[in-house]
Structure 1
Amino acid sequence: MPEHATINTIDDVLRELDAIIAHCLDNNDAAGIFAYVYRRTTARVKEGILDRCFEDNERMERLDVVFARRYIDAYRQWERGGLPTPAWQQAFEACRRPLAIFQHVLLGMNAHITFDLGIAAAEVAPGTAIESLKSDFMAINGLLEDIVDELQSRIGRVSPLFFVADWLGGRRDEALINLNIRKARELAWALACRLAPAENPERDVYILSAGELCLTLGRLIESPPGLLQPVLKLVTWVEEKNIRRALEKLQR
């Protein structure tokens, strides 16, 4: 895998994500599920930048790169036997357990959006510059929601009851996916606004608090309360168990 010095553009990020997906295919690693979803959303953001959808398209590419490096760092550390941030450690450890494919997606989103994104945004737009980022930051929500249909269709190829839930819920589960994205990004923006003007030790306190929140949310994703637990067991029971085959079907 290339070092960060070569990851300067969205195309560099996409190549790195392709390498991670290939590694997960070779190792039958469930971490590839989130990597695939992240690769698809990154490609959609690239389309938005090329179409000049943002007020500051160059800054949005910088944000995408800084943001992606946090995931790439975490994955590299984990693969080398190191310890990434606790939220990523939680997500990667869950890849060794028989969770539903959708749970792996949500755990990755929790670590990367709820935690990483706010830190990356504050780095790209420190101090008072953070307010000028808000419009473009929020515009990403629409781009992400645009691909929910596509992602649901692809997940349905390897998780048959995912579509059954879609039919029974009158597409409310799609709204739930979008809600998860929006809520995670709202938390990320709140963190960015706290971090941008902050200095240590205050900054470290904010990051620690955000990390603890992510761990709490991650535990709920892994072991949801009430009827969700048996429902997820049923969903998992009929899913494609071979991660390599699942990833190949997702990418078709």
Structure 2
Amino acid sequence: MTPFTEFPAPTHGVDEVVRTLRALGGRWPAGDGVGVFNRVYLTVTEAVGRDVLGGGFADREAAVTLDVLFAERYVAAVRAVDEGGRPPACWRPLFQLRRHPGVRPVQFALSGVNAHIGHDLALAVVDTCRSLGCEPADLEDEFDRVGEVLTGLEERVREELMPGPDLLELADPLTHLVGAWSLERARDAAWAAARGLWALRHLPELRDETAARLDAAVGLVSRCLLTPTR
């Protein structure tokens, strides 16, 4: 069982996250599955950054801390693979199947979003509470606002990466596969998981077991989303 890894308070802002994501994206060819997710995530992070600068968050410090710690989970998974290690279970399917010819771009994108929301966001809420000395309830507005940005992005992913109307009949299994996943449900589950992990913070053995099971469960969904459809 992998212990719950705590991420330290960030020393940089959303602009540095954007630069990191752009640098990562420049390393991968257009068809790379991790690169597909990275482009999607870069769009989200840029949108959150604009919201922060535009006063879209009531608590700017909390919003930046949550966003940066959220991003660090994904970046750490990339670095683990780069260094020959193993990323969290939720990320392994995407890295393992990133070049599979039978997996479509929309599947890569949603698999990454599932891993990042279902697992990383829950842990990032816990990291943020520890960094700021607050409770999950204190972050609910920031969590919901980020969720609104993500929901809009999910619609864009489906519109831009799904096959065109002339291919929908041939892609019927794909339509059913991606239609079965919901970002809203993933967000709700992440919030519940964050609250549970925070409540277990003084019981490290049980917290680690809960985090490991969350990771494995989210990884299973990520793998299902990558079922080859052609």
**TM-score normalized by structure 2?**
0.81
Partners of 1:54 and 1:5 lie apart in 2 by 19
For the residue of structure 1 that corresponds to 2:90, the secondary structure is: helix
Post-superposition CA distance 1:147-190 (Å, at most 9, x none): 4454445425xx435x865xxx9xx99x959x722111111111
Higher relative contact order (CA 8 A, sep 6+): 2
Residue in structure 2 matched with residue 35 of structure 1 by the alignment: 38
Are the aligned partners of 1:24 and 1:30 in contact in 2 as well (CA < 8 Å)? no
Structure 1 position 39, deviation (Å): 0.3
- Which of 74, 77, 80 pairs up with 2:77? 74
Residue in structure 2 matched with residue 140 of structure 1 by the alignment: 146
Residue in structure 2 matched with residue 201 of structure 1 by the alignment: 205
Task: Tell me the amino acid that sits aligned with residue 89 of structure 2.
Answer: P
Provide closer, same or farther for how the CA distance between residues 128 and 56 of structure 1 changes in structure 2, counting only shifts above 3 A.
Answer: closer
Partners of 2:120 and 2:23 lie apart in 1 by 21
For the residue of structure 2 that corresponds to 1:144, the secondary structure is: helix
- Structure 2 runs not aligned, ≥5 long: 1-7
Partners of 2:61 and 2:85 lie apart in 1 by 33
Within 5 Å, give how 1:17-96 maps onto structure 2: 17-25=21-29, 29-96=32-99
Post-superposition CA distance 1:200-252 (Å, at most 9, x none): 012101101101211221232123xxxxx7xx32xxxxxxxxxxxxxxxxxxx
Q: As a proportion of its length, which structure holds more helix?
A: 1
Q: How many residues align?
A: 214
Partners of 1:164 and 1:142 lie apart in 2 by 30
Residue in structure 2 matched with residue 211 of structure 1 by the alignment: 215
Post-superposition CA distance 1:6-63 (Å, at most 9, x none): 961111000000011100138x633100000000011111122122222212211111
Structure 1 position 197, deviation (Å): 2.8
After the TM superposition, list the runs of 4 or more consecutive aligned residues in structure 1 that deviate by more than 6 angstroms.
4-7
- Which of 96, 118, 126 pairs up with 2:122? 118
Are the aligned partners of 1:128 and 1:196 in contact in 2 as well (CA < 8 Å)? no
- Percent identity reads 27
- Structure 1 runs not aligned, ≥5 long: 224-228, 234-252
